[in-house]
Amino acid sequence: MKVIYDRISTQCSKIITQAYTNSFSLGIKCLHPQYHNPIYAIYSFFRLGDEIVDSFHDYPKKKLLEEYKKATYEAIEQKISLNPILNNFQQVVHAYQVEHSLIDIFFDSMAMDLTRRTYTQDTLEKYILGSAEVVGLMCLKIFCENDEEKYRQLKPYAMKLSSAFQKINFLRDLHTDYKQLGRTYFPHINFEQFSDTDKRKIEEEVGEDFKEALIGIKMLPRKVKFGVYLAYKYYKRLLQKIRKTPSSKVLYQRIRIPSYQKYAMIFSVSLRYNLSLL
């Protein structure tokens, strides 16, 4: 029965999400239950694409990425796929009218990771658009439940929030990106001489993104506001910790938030949410 296969597809998306990210999974759990499975579908789809370019070093990455893109569009056209992740994703694309252009932009950014090692400001913005901002826009599609006016209103804020998240990820993962994968996402920075001044410039830029993003978070439907605000607070905490860490250490160690601080954050955000302070 197809209903069984669809249920298994949903479970696969959830398993991949929970296996790869504790923090994002925690944020999803704080959304209204109706949004859990669609967001798992979005995350797992992006996760597989990202995994191809970041981890499958002993395999033909370009070919795998091209096949993944082709299979994605075949799944959307046929409304089914034997790949459970794509089967789940295509259902979300149809249910929430996700623009195919967002999918194209994602694959363009993944292709950049196959060949590009340094970025200009223009190519960085293009990369962040496809690797992060389209994720936020697809999630926003789900949150707005096909209300196009609401989607257009919140779109710029969702892009700012996703951009901030990605830039913090870049800072957090400097060691892996630069030392292991040979990538330098931030233009005009020599990471052999990465300084506190360089780091501060990036931090200030992220801070401005956060200021704008918060305006949009306050406008979100109540059913999703708690989860999105929690993700915002988590990344703000990461940014604060990065600010306090010397540039030399940021380059050689991955900055993390301890579990006890995450749970304290959940309590704090939950209190604000229940008191209608968000």
pLDDT per position as a tens digit, 90-107? 999 999 999 999 999 999
Lookup: tokens for 102 = 């967002």
Instruction: Provide mean pLDDT across the span 174-185.
Output: 78
Domain that holds residue 44: 2-274
d(CA 95, CA 233): 30
**Token pair for 45:** 């789809």
d(CA 88, CA 13): 7
* For residues 18-37, average pLDDT: 87
Model confidence at 159, pLDDT cuts 50, 70, 90, reads very high
- In this prediction the pTM is 0.91
CB atoms within 10 A of CB 243: 16
**Is 117 a residue whose pLDDT tops 80?**
no
pLDDT above 90 coverage of the chain, percent: 67
Q: The CATH number of the domain where 118 resides is what? A: 1.10.600.10
Q: Do residues 191 and 247 touch, judged by C-beta distance below 8 A? A: no
Alpha-carbon distances, residue 130 vs 153, 268, 276 (angstroms): 20, 32, 34
Q: Residue 267: which residues within 8 A CB-CB, separation 6 or more?
A: none
Amino acid at residue number 184: T
Distance CA 117, CA 153 (A): 35
Six-digit token pair at 275? 């008191």
- Report pLDDT for 50: 94
**How many domains are contained in the chain?**
1
167, 205 Cβ separation under 8 angstroms: yes
Between 30 and 133, the more confident residue is 133
Instruction: Please compute Rg for the chain using Cα positions.
Output: 19
Instruction: Decide: 95 and 38 in contact? Cβ < 8 Å.
Output: yes
Residue 276: phi, psi to the nearest 5?
60, 40
